[in-house]
Structure 1
């Protein structure tokens, strides 16, 4: 097992509550601020003067670029320094937020370029921040203190995603307007830089053989082409034509680049994505289920968009439907930590996934009266939050605790790549199914006798049901993946080091 390397001051340095708050603020910049577009995009699309397909692309492209480059950033964090990469990510977050906040209205190409450019930069920021911050948490904490710190890290990610719809709706309908979301992001990014100042550098032990091999540019390029072609096909399908020449060309491009990627990664030493990590059952189950549960973020864009159109709700009113989600996820993340300590990772991961699936299923009942649907969606989003709260810390700990220290940067990069790509692909497919379902003949839908209440919007509600049920399917697959791959008592978990003397133990996060 490779050793960690640190600056000379590391042995005397201890993480404090303020330092951990800085980590949380860095992580929350993506999950809270960047993700607000899931809720506010229906309201600002007309104001900016962009097409619906381009708006949907703007929603998913941030997670897409985060997923593409997060493994690269994780590897760079191991080699160049996790603190350096973390700082770079925070500065990129500031740049991306500024681009979006300053995006002009109705200027055609300039508007589209600044909006999409800002979203791409935000994705690159998340790619840098997530693996480096997670690796630093594992480096500076041990045992239960690490699990506690990971819970607060999860508050930044899962909690941020829980608050994004409500926060985005609140700011968009306030006198400050939707642009204030990204100005606040800039301010909190600067605060994070201040709180993290003085963090000693941390990196993995250098590998001379890896340095000689060089970077796997071929694998990276094939990976980029694969994911961009898939995302463009999904998000732009209604405009391009699903079976048009251009659409079929994108499918062919994705297939060829995917095969090239697999060939390179399985034949090259020092591959861009270390596929050997997936020989570890615990890591595989945690990562695959993480991909699928993050894909369920499509629930937000479909359900909240549906009530804004069908019921005339504002972005704030629709965001209030997710208040239970926010409260539940923040109050149950620590419960998930305790369940992990008592039962190991598998049971809380399964329980959390099952509760999440039930919650999304309730949100998919768009055939009811709107008042009934609103009640069920409030309950559904609350269960969604409870489930993710149970799942978050056990899954993260299972993924990181089962790999050697010298691979934690790459492993955390792959794990968070699963988060981002799941989010991007899940949102894109959910939105595409939502739009495609609306094209079904309303008379055919009415003939089924399933949709009660108003009949002038049955196609809209049918599209919503299709998009939401796809998210239920992803959760079902996640449950199956956990059952098959995660052992009840992981045999491949890397043992924790022997406890240090009391004066060397890292202080508990936030005093708990």
Structure 2
């Protein structure tokens, strides 16, 4: 019986098309999922692809060590600072629109990086890249949520999305090494342009997002960016200018003032980016500390080793990129294992043990030193990769179980912002320690290892003491 022949009976009902997806819907959905994952892949790739190219950039653009720090930190700083509000902007203008704008801006900024005639131009373009990346991250996630209402399909897509980000971190140093050696350092930026434009083209198949009326904390956003940037600028400029220079003291004072302003704004505004009451939660603070410590140590050591291997040992960019392969692949492999461990024993032990394992890797670097055997130095990086991969999934589990479900998006953005800030400050501090006006490469590497190891031990201890097995509902307030 069909709708067009209501009441007409037949001996054998004719075959009719059952209600379901329109022709091509599944293919269109697959294209949009691919676009979302590719966008996330690209912004993660640019967090690590540049490290191996730093010596070539320094040689071509006559850049100092502090300049090279800004090439890396400029991206992660803009990423970290603007990520706090990017989720709100995504809701206000629609995820589809922000994702498209973000990818177009990322592609244009990438081309500007490749054409950079000076290091100052390159740093500005990297900041624009980071700002665009901040727009892409939450909107790509929101795009998957609106596209896939079925929880099972959405979970599968999110797993692919997350794996793409991990794969990008692993591929970054290798891709950077090959592109720099074969085509020049500019190629590490130009490669983003065709893939970025291809992703935007795929986005044309996505349904339009419905904008929502959400509050935007402009004062808090400005305060957060000023505080992060001022502090990073002050630390980077200590090496070339000295601790008493106005170029160091003034940004540091501005940073402290901005931080106080941020705390005041967030405690009084109606819809804050960061609900300061959540900082009373031990689980919440422990997860933020873990995210910060992981990126601080990982990005910091990538930065230093890229310089050690190429400038001290004369390695090619390809060889340098390949030397990071075991560590970065272990990050991805351990991510998969960590999910199973967390389901079995809860987040507490995987988080704590993973960070202590990473700390052991830095203690190994401390023992070997920059002039030690290469194989021992690389062997010491393996626990860093394993620990970093094992810690991330239980960290997300513990965090999301400790907050109301309606805060999940905002708090996830805060964690991502904290991680990016950790990466920027890791590069900043490690660069200061290895500089010629700091302790030099050999001693600076040892001090860097001590700083990273101590931070990981502290964060791991907090995880063990403050996260109670699989049940985070028993979380108590700090103090």
What's the TM-score once normalised by structure 1's chain length? 0.80
2:386 paired residue number: 386
Q: For 1:28-39, what aligned pairs fall within 5 Å after superposition?
A: 28-39=41-52
Aligned residue number for residue 121 of structure 2: 114
What is the CA–CA distance in structure 1 between the aligned matches of 2:277 and 2:100, rounded to whole Å?
Answer: 29
Q: Report 1:466-505 matches (<5 A).
A: 466-492=447-473
Q: Which residue of 2 aligns with 1:462?
A: 443
Q: Which runs of 5+ in 2 are unaligned?
A: 1-20, 475-479
Query: Which of the numbers 323, 326, 337 marks the counterpart of 1:324?
Result: 326
Structure 2 distance, partners of 1:18, 1:99, is 28
Q: 1:77 to 1:484 in 2, by over 3 A?
A: farther
Match in the other structure for 2:425: 425
Q: Over residues 269-293 of structure 1, what are the superposed CA-to-partner deviations in whole Å (9 max), with x where a residue is unaligned?
A: 2123333443555443323211221
Aligned length, in residue pairs: 449
CA distance 1:31–1:364, change in 2 (3 Å) = farther
The corresponding residue for 2:346 is 344
Residue among 300, 305, 308 paired with 1:306: 308
Q: Would you say the 8 A contact 1:150–1:397 is kept in 2?
A: no
CA distance in structure 2 between the aligned counterparts of 1:202 and 1:419, rounded to whole angstroms: 28
Contact kept, 8 Å, 1:352 with 1:391, in 2: the verdict is yes
Shift in alpha-carbon separation, 1:141–1:461, aligned structure 2, 3 A? farther
CA RMSD of aligned residues (A): 2.8
- Give the CA deviation at 1:375: 1.0
The CA deviation at 1:492 is 4.5
2:328 pairs with 1:315:
no
Shift of 1:405: 4.8
**Residue 162 (structure 1) aligned to one of 158, 170, 187:** 170
The equivalent position to 2:141 in structure 1, one of 134, 140, 160, is: 134
| Partner residue of 1:60 out of 73, 90, 94 | 73
What's the offset of the Cα at 1:470? 1.6
The answer to which structure, 1 or 2, has the higher relative contact order (CA under 8 A, 6+ apart) is: 1
Matched ranges for 1:40-51 at <5 A: 40-51=53-64
Q: Post-superposition shift, 1:147?
A: 5.6
Greater mean deviation of Cα atoms: 145-154 or 240-249: 145-154
Residue aligning to 1:448: none
Q: Is the 8 A contact 2:93 2:212 kept in 1?
A: no
Tell me: CA distance 1:344–1:278, structure 2 relative to 1, closer, same or farther (3 Å). Answer: same
Q: Deviations over 1:403-422 (max 9, x none)?
A: 44543332222121112111
1:60-99 equivalences in 2 (<5 Å)? 60-99=73-112
Q: How has the CA–CA distance of structure 1 residues 289 and 99 changed in structure 2, closer, same or farther, with 3 Å as cutoff?
A: same
Contact preservation (8 Å) 1:168, 1:181: yes
Cα distance between partner residues in 2 of 1:472 and 1:137:
37
Partners of 2:158 and 2:354 lie apart in 1 by: 17
Alpha-carbon separation, structure 1, partners of 2:458 and 2:158: 25
- Contact between 1:204 and 1:406, CA under 8 Å: does it hold in 2? no
Partner of 1:171: 179
1:365 match: secondary structure: helix
Measured in 1, the distance between the counterparts of 2:151 and 2:126 equals 37
Structure 2 match to 1:257: 258
Which consecutive residues of structure 1, in runs of 5 or more, have no partner in the other structure? 1-8, 105-110, 441-458, 494-512
CA contact (8 A) 1:75 1:409 kept: no
Contact 2:83/2:413 (CA < 8 Å) preserved in 1?
Answer: yes
Output the CA distance in 2 between the equivalents of 1:394 and 1:137: 22
User: 1:377-434 CA deviation, whole Å, 9 max, x = no partner?
Assistant: 3223332222222223332344345544543332222121112111111111111111
Deviation at 1:84, TM superposition (A): 2.2
Larger Rg belongs to: 2
What is the CA-CA distance between 1:460 and the residue it aligns to? Answer: 2.6
The alpha-carbon deviation at position 78 of structure 1 amounts to 2.8
CA deviations over 1:185-224 (Å, ceiling 9, x no partner): 11222232344443345579646xx4xxxx4333222222
Structure 1 393/166 Cα, relative in aligned 2: closer, same or farther at 3 Å?
Answer: same
1:242/1:158 CA distance change after superposition, 3 Å: farther
Tell whether the 8 Å contact from 2:47 to 2:169 is kept in structure 1 after alignment: no
* 2:28 is the alignment partner of 1:21: no
Choose 301-310 or 144-153, whichever is displaced more: 144-153
Say whether the 8 Å CA contact 2:352–2:460 is kept in structure 1: yes
- Deviation, 1:491, is 4.2
Question: Per the alignment, in what secondary structure is the counterpart of residue 185 of structure 2?
Answer: coil
